[in-house]
Amino acid sequence: MHYKHRIAWRAAREIKAGQIINLGIGIPTLIMDYLPDRQQVFVHSENGIWGMGPRAAAGREDPDLIDAGAAYATIVPGAAFFDTLTSFAIIRGGRIDLAFLGALQVAQNGDLANWIIPGQMTPGIGGGMELAQKSRKVIVLTTHVTKTGAPKIVKSCSLPLTAPACVAMIITDRAVIEVTDAGLCLKELAEGVSVADVVAATEAPLLVPEGELPRF
């Protein structure tokens, strides 16, 4: 399984029946392929859908129906469409149970940076700041290190924050890490990865429980 799909597959196990979830751009959108029972989970898309389904099959696209990343989407029975004001009332009003977001950096206290690299990457904020700050739970899905090997899980973010202290869990290609009051806690390891590998690739200190860790 490709590492991005492994992350998405593991992330899907965090979703509980009846939850309203939002999937950020990138790896989070792959979760759509691993939803256990689509009827019990309602996917919110900030461009105006509650009850989004999988991507539209080739030849079945509707030009008026896209997801927040501009891919052609579908809906499930019971879905609703609405405008941007209503969509962000759902977000800022606290109706998103679980948001899966990408990251440039996550700090040991749960700070998230994912919207700008000054002078290099300036995509704009989109809906990410409101999702990060107001969702009931935020799980970050990311590669453990950057393309040049630099740790993305750090003591303190050097990049401008999307939102402070908002991340509850980090799922990477190497590990599952929980953000706790005591610090970052290593919970699971990817197949073929050792505790030492993860510790070496993580700038922030990790609490490592006694005994064998579960694998994913």
Partner 1 sequence: MWPMSSSKIFSAAEACRSIADGATVLVGGFGQPGTPNRLLRQLLAQGTKQLTLVKNDASEPGLGISILIEAGRVAKLIASHVGLNPLAVALMHEGRLAIEVYPQGILAEKIRAGGAGLGGILTDIGLHLDTDRPAQLVEVAGARYKIEPALRGDVALIHAARADTMGNLVFTKTAGNFNPAMAMAADLVIVETGEIVPAGAIDPDHVHLPGAFVDRLVLVEKSAADYGVLKHHALQA
The catalytic residue among 46, 61, 130, 188 is 46
Between 128 and 186, CB nearer to partner 1: 128
Within 13 A of 210's CA, how many CA atoms are on the CB side? 0
Give residue for tokens 């993580």: 202
Between 31 and 68, CB nearer to partner 1: 68
Q: What is the 3-state secondary structure (H, E, C) of 162-185?
A: CECCCCCEEECCCEEEEEECCEEE
Q: How far is the CB of 45 from partner 1 (least distance, A)?
A: 8
203 a catalytic residue: no
> And the tokens for 181?
């009051």
The CA-based dihedral angle spanning residues 29, 35, 40, 43, taken in that order and rounded to the nearest 10 degrees: 0
Between 95 and 195, CB nearer to partner 1: 95
Q: How far is the CB of 200 from partner 1 (least distance, A)?
A: 31
Asked whether 206 and 215 are in contact (CB, 8 A), the reply is no
Q: How far is the CB of 8 from partner 1 (least distance, A)?
A: 17
Rounded distance between C-alpha atoms, residue 113 and residue 163, angstroms: 7
Asked whether 37 and 14 are in contact (CB, 8 A), the reply is no
Q: How far is the CB of 54 from partner 1 (least distance, A)?
A: 10
Between 58 and 196, CB nearer to partner 1: 58
- Judged by the rule CB under 8 A, the positions of this chain that interact with partner 1 are 45-49, 55-59, 61-66, 68, 70-73, 81-85, 87-89, 91-92, 122-130, 133-134, 160-161, 163-164
> Which residues are catalytically annotated?
46
